[in-house]
């Protein structure tokens, strides 16, 4: 008899949350953007749920000394739980207990916001011998519906190396993104990556596959991160370390996610996500829908 087939090739999810959040100033002077609520739930809880659902057992939150609240959010609050219990507020109690029960949380500190690559590198020392690969989830990028990490794990089980996530974007709207140079595999949703171009003009884009904030990275990435220098914006870029791995012959693939996405990193994208989630909410959806319809009729 054979055992269950497991494609779960990672147990640790790294969530970088040490950025300055400048696009969300002035709120981010005092509130980390990862804690801004989409309806009532912070973005970082949504990605923690996604990581747990994909089989991760532990989340390493990379944060800065002044953003400790991001990690505190995953601690339990017995005092609050007791107060809610006494009042019989069971639904709220369940919500309050959800984040601490989702996944084990460890912390790595990035003293200075020197870039996404630098943030991921700070998680290196807390990895164990079992971590042959790690998932990286950007908490300001919601990839919907969830499930792409499991497909990425399947691709790593098949091809080895590292697997990234891409969206197929119409060519005329490709310019704001990092775009992959790819070739086909026998699976229409999995492409081999040969390189990447940041923010190309539509006519220079090597494909219509744009990068999203989900990565399943072979442990070799940490060695590559040690060997890159500052890139775009003077920051240590994760994509430069991935490019180095490709140059050195490591297999890198993308899974094309056929779904939606919300960018929580700027007020416009965040508002869209909040409206999208609120419309789907049993409690707030119906009234919001009616109000929005009326409000939109009155827009000039
Ligand atoms: P972003 O570029 O979206 O976040 O990085 P940011 O730098 O905070 O935002 P702006 O550009 O100033 O508005 C994606 C994720 O990577 C983290 C961020 O916290 C965010 O979750 N990050 C970014 C770090 O942890 N460290 C960094 O040095 C940069």
Containing structural domain, residue 218: 147-258
Is the CB of 18 inside a 6 Å radius of any atom of ligand 1? yes
* pLDDT value of position 124: 97
Q: 291 CA distance to ligand 1 centroid (A)?
A: 34
Considering only residues 300 and 182, tell me which one the structure prediction assigns the higher pLDDT.
182
- Domain boundary (139, 155, 175) is at 139
Asked if the structure places residue 4 within a domain, the reply is: no
Q: What percent of the chain has pLDDT over 70?
A: 97
2, pLDDT greater than 90: no
Which residue's CA is the closest to the ligand 1 atom numbered 9?
A: 21
Q: Tell me phi and psi for residue 81, to 5 degrees.
A: -60, -40
- Domain boundary (139, 160, 189) is at 139
Is the CB of 71 inside a 6 Å radius of any atom of ligand 1? no
Considering only residues 5 and 296, tell me which one the structure prediction assigns the higher pLDDT.
296
Q: How far, in Å, CA of 226 to CA of 52, rounded?
A: 28
User: Based on the domain organization, do 122 and 168 belong to the same domain?
Assistant: no
* pLDDT value of position 155: 97
- How many domains does the chain contain in total? 2
Q: How far, in Å, CA of 62 to CA of 236, rounded?
A: 15
Q: 281 CA distance to ligand 1 centroid (A)?
A: 29
Ligand 1 nearest-atom number relative to CA 265: 3
Is the CB of 138 inside a 6 Å radius of any atom of ligand 1? yes
SS3 category, 158 = helix
- Domain boundary (139, 161, 187) is at 139
Question: What does pTM read for this prediction?
Answer: 0.95
For the residues 144-161, what does the mean pLDDT come to?
A: 96
Q: 171 CA distance to ligand 1 centroid (A)?
A: 26
Residue with tokens 């923690």: 48
Ligand 1 nearest-atom number relative to CA 18: 25
* pLDDT value of position 198: 86
Q: CATH number of the domain that 120 lies in?
A: 3.90.550.10
Q: Where are the alpha helices (DSSP H) in the chain?
A: 43-53, 69-72, 78-86, 90-102, 116-121, 148-159, 220-227, 238-247, 267-279, 285-297
Q: pLDDT of 212-263, one tens digit each?
A: 999 999 999 999 999 999 998 899 999 999 999 999 999 999 999 999 999 9
User: Based on the domain organization, do 129 and 151 belong to the same domain?
Assistant: no
Q: Which residues are CB-neighbours of 88 under 8 A, at least 6 positions away? A: none
Our mutation pick for probing the ligand 1 site, out of 26, 60, 116, counting the most ligand atoms within 8 A of Cβ, is: 116
Our mutation pick for probing the ligand 1 site, out of 26, 43, 235, 265, counting the most ligand atoms within 8 A of Cβ, is: 265
Which residue's CA is the closest to the ligand 1 atom numbered 7?
A: 19
Q: Which two tokens stand for residue 35?
A: 């804690």
Q: 300 CA distance to ligand 1 centroid (A)?
A: 36
* pLDDT value of position 253: 98
* pLDDT value of position 63: 98
Q: 216 CA distance to ligand 1 centroid (A)?
A: 18
Asked if the structure places residue 235 within a domain, the reply is: yes
Burial class of residue 193 in the structure, from the number of CB atoms within 10 Å of its CB (0-12 exposed, 13-18 middle, 19+ buried)? buried
Q: How far, in Å, CA of 217 to CA of 14, rounded?
A: 10
Q: How far, in Å, CA of 119 to CA of 276, rounded?
A: 30
For the residues 137-144, what does the mean pLDDT come to?
A: 97
* pLDDT value of position 242: 95
Q: pLDDT of 18-67, one tens digit each?
A: 999 999 999 999 999 999 999 999 999 999 999 999 999 999 999 999 99
Asked if the structure places residue 283 within a domain, the reply is: no
Q: 119-135: string of b/e by CB count within 10 Å (b at 16+)?
A: bbbbbbeebeeebebbb
Which residue's CA is the closest to the ligand 1 atom numbered 2?
A: 19
300, pLDDT greater than 90: no
Distance of CA 66 to CAs 32, 62, 69, 109, Å?
Answer: 9, 12, 8, 10
Which residue's CA is the closest to the ligand 1 atom numbered 1?
A: 19
Is the CB of 265 inside a 6 Å radius of any atom of ligand 1? yes
Q: How far, in Å, CA of 239 to CA of 166, rounded?
A: 13
User: Based on the domain organization, do 59 and 114 belong to the same domain?
Assistant: yes
* pLDDT value of position 5: 43
Is the CB of 32 inside a 6 Å radius of any atom of ligand 1? no
Q: pLDDT of 166-205, one tens digit each?
A: 999 999 999 989 999 999 999 999 999 999 988 899 999 9
160, pLDDT greater than 60: yes
6, pLDDT greater than 70: no
Q: Which two tokens stand for residue 274?
A: 């909040």
* pLDDT value of position 274: 98
Q: 239 CA distance to ligand 1 centroid (A)?
A: 14
* pLDDT value of position 7: 55
* pLDDT value of position 4: 41
């Amino acid at each position: 008899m054979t055992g269950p087939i497991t494609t779960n090739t990672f147990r640790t999810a790294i969530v970088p949350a040490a950025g300055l959040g400048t696009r969300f100033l002035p709120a981010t002077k005092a509130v980390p953007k990862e804690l801004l609520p989409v309806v009532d739930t912070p973005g970082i809880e949504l990605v923690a749920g996604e990581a747990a659902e994909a089989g991760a057992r532990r989340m390493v939150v990379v944060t800065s000394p002044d953003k400790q609240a991001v990690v505190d959010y995953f601690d339990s609050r017995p005092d609050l739980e007791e107060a809610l219990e006494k009042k019989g507020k069971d639904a709220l109690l369940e919500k309050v207990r959800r984040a601490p029960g989702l996944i084990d949380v460890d912390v790595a500190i990035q003293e200075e916001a020197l870039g996404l690559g630098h943030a991921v590198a700070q998680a290196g020392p807390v990895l164990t011998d079992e971590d042959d690969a790690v998932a990286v989830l950007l908490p300001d990028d919601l990839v919907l519906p969830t499930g792409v990490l499991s497909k990425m794990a399947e691709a790593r089980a098949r091809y080895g190396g590292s697997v990234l996530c891409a969206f197929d974007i119409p060519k005329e709207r490709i310019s704001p993104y990092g775009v992959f140079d790819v070739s086909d595999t026998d699976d229409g949703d999995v492409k081999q990556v040969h390189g990447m171009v940041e923010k190309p003009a539509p006519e220079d884009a090597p494909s219509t596959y744009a990068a999203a904030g989900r990565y399943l990275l072979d442990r070799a990435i940490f060695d590559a991160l040690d060997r890159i220098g500052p890139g775009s914006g003077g920051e240590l870029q994760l994509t430069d370390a991935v490019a180095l791995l490709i140059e050195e012959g490591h297999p890198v693939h993308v899974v094309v996610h056929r779904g939606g996405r919300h960018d929580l990193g700027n007020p416009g994208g965040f508002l869209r996500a909040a409206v999208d989630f609120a419309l789907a909410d049993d409690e707030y959806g119906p009234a919001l829908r009616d109000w929005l319809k009326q409000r939109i009729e009155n827009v000039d």
